[in-house]
Amino acid sequence: QQQVKQSPQSLIVQKGGISIINCAYENTAFDYFPWYQQFPGKGPALLIAIRPDVSEKKEGRFTISFNKSAKQFSLHIMDSQPGDSATYFCAASWSRAGTALIFGKGTTLSVSS
Amino acid sequence: EAGVAQSPRYKIIEKRQSVAFWCNPISGHATLYWYQQILGQGPKLLIQFQNNGVVDDSQLPKDRFSAERLKGVDSTLKIQPAKLEDSAVYLCASSLERPRNNSPLHFGNGTRLTVT
């Protein structure tokens, strides 16, 4: 119930293409769903986040789509660029209870030029 | 603003030895976390502090791991004795407010521990 399952494990996308990473969760108490981006040798950094009261959130080329009934959410990267090559982690938390983030296992994205 | 500072950057020890990691969070951040990131996996929470009190240490292997946050600022994480499976990157993160306010986590660059 505390897991966040992320797929795919790795992804190769052509420059200018759309990258899609998916996550699923079990705990219906989760109420905060961020995505973090991590470059080699660096700590993860917040990319974008969503609450379950909305179905979509867009920031620049990054969009989160949220499906509450399916308990799934996904990250879409439009017009993918080589600089987007990194590892992406979805996460979830029950923020009302003050719990810390639970992270998925990560997706390594490579954008080829 | 200065980011989360961690030291050392790398550490290599033999099994059964002890090791300590240090973290200085962003100034004013009340919540501090230690996460363990094994190669190829996502960060896993070890311990969460709110000011200098422990909020969650349910996944901390207390027989060998210990952590403290003196005066609600800096924190140290210790492993004694280390096992091979402790080889990982140890990430410290801080946030301005309690998790219920969804303050973003700011991570340091981590300490890469190799146990031989």
Give the SS3 label for residue A83.
helix
Mean pLDDT value across residues B86-114: 90
User: Which residue in B100, B103, B109, B111 has the most chain A C-beta atoms within 10 A of its own C-beta, making it the best mutation to test that interface?
Assistant: B100
State the DSSP string of B83-112: -GGG-EEEEEEEESS-GGGTPPPEE---EE
Is residue A76's pLDDT more than 90? yes
Q: Is B53 in the A-facing interface, judged by CB distances under 8 Å?
A: no
A1 CB neighbour count, 10 Å cutoff: 8
Q: Is B30 in the A-facing interface, judged by CB distances under 8 Å?
A: no
Quick one: pLDDT at residue A85?
Answer: 98
Q: Which residue of B has its CA nearest to A41?
A: B109
Q: Which of A51, A96, A106 sits opposite B42 (nearest CB)?
A: A106
User: Which residue in A6, A32, A101 has the most chain B C-beta atoms within 10 A of its own C-beta, making it the best mutation to test that interface?
Assistant: A101
Name the least confident of A75-79, B6-10, B18-22, B101-105. Answer: B101-105
Contact A103 B93 (CB under 8 A): no
Beta-bridge partners for B73: none
Is residue A52's pLDDT more than 70? yes
Band of pLDDT at residue B80, cut at 50, 70 and 90: very high
Mean pLDDT value across residues B49-63: 93
Q: Could you check whether the bond before residue A8 is cis, i.e. omega within 30 degrees of 0? A: yes
Q: Which of B30, B48, B27, B85 is nearest to A100 (CA)?
A: B48
- Give B22→chain A minimum CA distance, Å: 15
Q: Hey, what's the torsion of the CAs at B34, A49, A23, A100, to 10 degrees?
A: 30
State the DSSP string of B5-34: EEE-SEEEE-TT--EEEEEE--TT--EEEE
Q: Is B27 in the A-facing interface, judged by CB distances under 8 Å?
A: no
Amino acid letter, residue B109:
N
d(CA B112, CA B90): 6
Quick one: pLDDT at residue B101?
Answer: 66
Is residue B20's pLDDT more than 80? yes
